[in-house]
Amino acid sequence: AGMNDETFRYFVDFAAEFGLEYVLIDAGWYGDHRDGEADITKPIPELDLPGLAAYAKGKNVRLLVWLNWEAVRDQMDVAFPLYEKWGLAGVKIDYMDRKDQEIVAFYQRTLKTAARYHLAVDFHGAYAGSGEERTFPHWLTREGVMGLEYLKWSDRVTPRHNVTIPFTRMLTGPMDYTPGGFRSVTAAEFAPRNELPVVMSTRAHQLALYVVYDSPLQMLSDTPSAYRGEPGAEFLKVVPATWDETRVLDGKIGEYVVIARRHGSEWFVGALTDAPRKIAIPLGFLGGKAFDATIWADTRDTTTNPNRLSVLPARLEGKSPRPLELSLASGGGAVLHLRPAGGKK
């Protein structure tokens, strides 16, 4: 839409509307994203970053900025205190694409400097997790995973891939997969494309990624117009990105997975599958208590139109010996939002 103030005010307004905490100013805000010598303290003339940060703050939203790692290596001691002065919340650093001694040392230095200036960090082009988040809690997430963007140029991010990485990559820590593709097509209809990219999984599958995948900083990867007024978009306004408790309820690597996560008094359940499948969700994790639930799930029509899903209310009893049974489509899924019975909706 354009790298300018008008575009990002539009994104900030959308974030405020959907209750999102952050907006990312992506590659291009200071110049050529491949230029490791570009000045990351000088936005292009079309962008007033301090002004945008103030505009966002007025709507309870904060800004993150994308950066080339080589520029960060050379300029962080000047840039990071400036970002704090501007009112930025954090940085997304990209293109490391290695795991040698230089890069590991760069991570450590960057994280120490970012902490000094109260900046959160997201590393893209990163190696998979190795526990540093315990030392640096402001390191919210990292890529190190074949995520949804690969569908712009390949057909490798299949539903089978999506139900494999919870058992592999996710075991090492948070992963910034960037879910939320709201243009679903069948596998037979799929073709990679850079503009208005599509996903080969159902709408319910995309919603469930927000529960199944662990990432304290989550992304809505599609454009605002893809979400407004769309079935399932209301779930994106309520699903948290951090959790107090996790229960793996069922799963088989490469086939399906069902995970329940608790945030405060509310539970969220996500289910993903590679192929058509009936699943049974045991309710023992509810501790015998009753919950009012909203269930977003595949329907019979989802087989031919993967954007179709049902949205149904339900009362679930934790003391019930019978599991909740759902039918999932090919590349499908389901997600549940459970609130203590009698509480606020």
Residue 151: partners with Cβ closer than 8 Å, 6 or more residues away = 157, 181, 190, 192, 197, 198, 199, 200
Pairing mode of beta strands 256-263, 290-297: unpaired
Which candidate in 122, 143, 149, 274 is catalytic? Answer: 149
Q: In this structure, what token pair is assigned to residue 69?
A: 């790692």
Concerning whether 244 is annotated as a catalytic residue, the answer is no
Concatenating the DSSP letter of every residue in 253-290 gives TTTEEEEEEEETTEEEEEEEESSSEEEEE--GGGTT-E
Q: How far, in Å, CA of 267 to CA of 285, rounded?
A: 9
Residue 94 a catalytic site member: yes
Task: Give the whole-angstrom CA distance, residue 134 versus residue 159.
Answer: 31
Q: Which helix (H) or strand (E) holds 294?
A: strand 290-297
Here the tokens at position 121 are 């960090």
Angle at 141 (CA atoms; ends 248, 17), nearest 5 degrees: 90
- Single-letter amino acid, residue 164: T
d(CA 271, CA 182): 17
* Residues with catalytic function: 94, 149
